[in-house]
Structure 1
Amino acid sequence: MSGAPRDHERLMRLATYASTATAAVLIAVKLAAWVATGSVALLSTLIDSTLDLAASALNLMAVRHALVPADDDHRFGHGKAEALAGLGQAAFVVGSGGFLLAEAGSRMIHPQPVSHGEWGIAVMVFSILATLALVGFQRMVAKRTGSLAISADSLHYTGDLLINASVIVSLLLAAGTGWPLADPLFAIGIAGWLMINAWQIARLSLDTLMDKEMPEADRERIRAIVATHPGVQDHHDLRTRTSGRQGFIQLHLELPGDLALIEAHRISDEVEKALLAEFPGFDVIIHEDPVGIRENRTEFK
């Protein structure tokens, strides 16, 4: 294993530890603030942080499993554990949004004043600063490692930033203007944002679990690399997918029919090397065909 993959594994583990620790700290401070203020909008962020902790713990376990190397029973590795964790996160977010809508609906019917709003505001400012630091670190890790689980967790915490800012506004309106409906109205808006986040996380996870093709721009780069080799006449049946940090490229090369086997093998190795230079860490599978042989072609546009 090269130094870069080891560094990626270390960063991914650090990101899961950081998110779990951040969620635990925010639960403690938000619980104290909610008890003091009675704000349903603040309760919404407490619920969200509680689910954040559960989702981050799930993420931690999934990332640890995804980093296990391929074995005899899992020849393609364990990368899809990250996508399963993403679906779990989406379920947590939907649950928190539904509970929040129920609480906000009750407060719309029976409004209650918000007390000690300044305590809640102070907690939200602290939450924003802590979440900003976490999201910054997660985005750096996701960019360097390509981890779906870390990306999903970062997207979730990015939504938390907007939630925390909204709670500050709702507390200012409810406590400063004496308009108690501001609190549940903002809570409803927060629930809507949580649902949007859940859909984004679930969509990314399902794309991986269903072996969705890589973006067309990447597929065009693969085609261009293959076409640049002077010994390759054409190619077909290009298939791509990703599983966690691992990517897979499969294709058929079309070579002259009278080419010696050793020469065909050399050309295939050179194409593979060129692809790995552009897509490091990928698993590349190449099959050599004589020019014009496409009876089993199954490529879709």
Structure 2
Amino acid sequence: MKLADEVKKMKAARFSVAAAIFLSVSKVSTALMLNSLGMLSSGVDSLMDVLVSTINFISMKQSVQPADSEHPYGHGKVENIASLFQALFLGIAGLLLIGEGIREALYVRRAPDFGAGILVMICSSIISFWVGRRLARIGKETDSPLLQADSFHFVMDTYTNTGVVIALILAQLQGRIIFDQIIAILIGLWVIYSAFKIFRSSTDALMDKYIPEDIQREINRIILSHSPEIIEYHKMRTRRSGSLKLIDLHLVTCKDKNLDEAHRITDHIEKEIEALIKNSDVVIHVEPCHLECPARKEACKFLYHPESGGGE
């Protein structure tokens, strides 16, 4: 990964922690003053964001460390492990919010004056949306699963904060607190749903699930563009380690090619794939074709007439 991307990821992680602290303190303090469960549930969600963003920041520092003798593929999996814990924390928080919402719904209370709470939640929605969009942009640029998961939290907070605002307004107009409790339960369900999505993405990466099919189609297109110099390819394996995409495959070429020529072709293909797919590491193993290979006659023309096509 480029140094500029690493620096950008670290700055974004620090920014995420600072934003989460500001939002959680403002929402929790206001919720306690107004005795609003909806605001408190949103504030607790933001407190979880503080914990998660802090873990993300620490994990990010570790994940950008270069490969060493004990970790030849680098430390990118740290991002996926941190995302897994992030999902577990969110799931627990969602269950707690639902339980508290149901418990509070059993008690009938009159709604207090929520004017200050409505103002705080509107400001929180605007800030969350801005922070989420910024993290999403940087996460996409650096292909970081941690930043993308973090951005999802903040964007989600925008919707939940808006829901809390609506609930507070309804409670203010109707004089009943039930709307506050309903929105707390809905927020809890939404948090659990987002936790499941992050959990599934993290486990896919930890279990070395193949990279998306659209990327594999691009790899296929690059290789086939070198036909007939390349007779075929097989045993392609792909996986992710944090932001890094690891790709290895076997290429079959004419058995009469010398080592330099075979290396030139594979090196060129590796560079093409790595140029197209950001944060990728490609390893190609070359195999000779069989003597009776039907494509051998066409492929071996490139030994003597390389200007006729393929290759570079």
Query: TM range, normalised to the smaller chain?
Result: over 0.9
Q: Distance in 1 between matches of 2:253 and 2:136?
A: 43
Q: Which residue is 2:226 aligned to?
A: 229
Q: Distance in 1 between matches of 2:215 and 2:290?
A: 25
Q: Which residue is 1:191 aligned to?
A: 188
Q: Which residue is 1:277 aligned to?
A: 275
Q: Deviations over 1:224-246 (max 9, x none)?
A: 10111141111101111111121
- Which of 29, 32, 37 is the matching residue for 1:35? 32
Q: Deviations over 1:84-119 (max 9, x none)?
A: 111111111111111111111111111323322011
- Judging changes above 3 Å, is the alpha-carbon distance between structure 1 residues 292 and 98 closer, same or farther for their aligned structure 2 residues? farther
Q: Which residue is 1:164 aligned to?
A: 161
Q: Deviations over 1:41-64 (max 9, x none)?
A: 111011101111000000001111
- Which of 202, 205, 211 is the matching residue for 1:205? 202
Q: What is the CA-CA distance between 1:292 and the residue it aligns to?
A: 5.1
Q: What is the CA-CA distance between 1:175 and the residue it aligns to?
A: 1.7
Retained in 1: the 8 A contact 2:255–2:290?
no
Q: Distance in 1 between matches of 2:111 and 2:25?
A: 20
Q: What is the CA-CA distance between 1:71 and the residue it aligns to?
A: 0.7
Q: Distance in 2 between matches of 1:186 and 1:273?
A: 52
Q: Distance in 1 between matches of 2:207 and 2:201?
A: 10
Q: Which residue is 1:241 aligned to?
A: 239
Q: Deviations over 1:6-32 (max 9, x none)?
A: 221121111111111111111221122
Q: Unaligned regions of 5+ residues in structure 1, if any?
A: 294-301
Specify the structure having the higher radius of gyration (Cα). Answer: 2
Q: Distance in 2 between matches of 1:113 and 1:164?
A: 22
TM-score by length of structure 2 reads 0.90
Q: Distance in 1 between matches of 2:213 and 2:57?
A: 31
Q: Distance in 2 between matches of 1:25 and 1:170?
A: 23
SS at match of 1:111: coil
Q: Distance in 2 between matches of 1:270 and 1:35?
A: 63
Opposite residue 271 of structure 2, the aligned amino acid is K
Retained in 2: the 8 A contact 1:19–1:56?
yes
Q: Which residue is 2:3 aligned to?
A: 6
Opposite residue 263 of structure 2, the aligned amino acid is H
Q: Deviations over 1:268-295 (max 9, x none)?
A: 11211221221244211111112259xx
SS at match of 1:283: strand
Q: Which shifted more, 246-255 or 111-120?
A: 111-120
SS at match of 2:230: coil
- Which of 90, 93, 96 is the matching residue for 2:93? 96
Q: Which residue is 1:258 aligned to?
A: 256
Q: Which residue is 2:72 aligned to?
A: 75
Q: Which residue is 1:63 aligned to?
A: 60
Q: Which residue is 1:54 aligned to?
A: 51
Q: Distance in 1 between matches of 2:260 and 2:22?
A: 62
Q: How many percent of aligned residue pairs carry the same amino acid? A: 33
Q: Runs of at least 4 residues of structure 1 off by over 2 A?
A: 111-114
Q: Distance in 1 between matches of 2:119 and 2:208?
A: 45
Give the count of matched residue pairs. Answer: 290
TM-score by length of structure 1 reads 0.93
Retained in 2: the 8 A contact 1:37–1:114?
no
Q: Which residue is 1:299 aligned to?
A: none
Q: Unaligned regions of 5+ residues in structure 2, if any?
A: 292-312
Q: Distance in 1 between matches of 2:54 and 2:278?
A: 30
- Which of 89, 108, 112 is the matching residue for 1:115? 112
SS at match of 1:188: helix
Q: Distance in 1 between matches of 2:213 and 2:223?
A: 15
Q: Distance in 2 between matches of 1:52 and 1:237?
A: 41
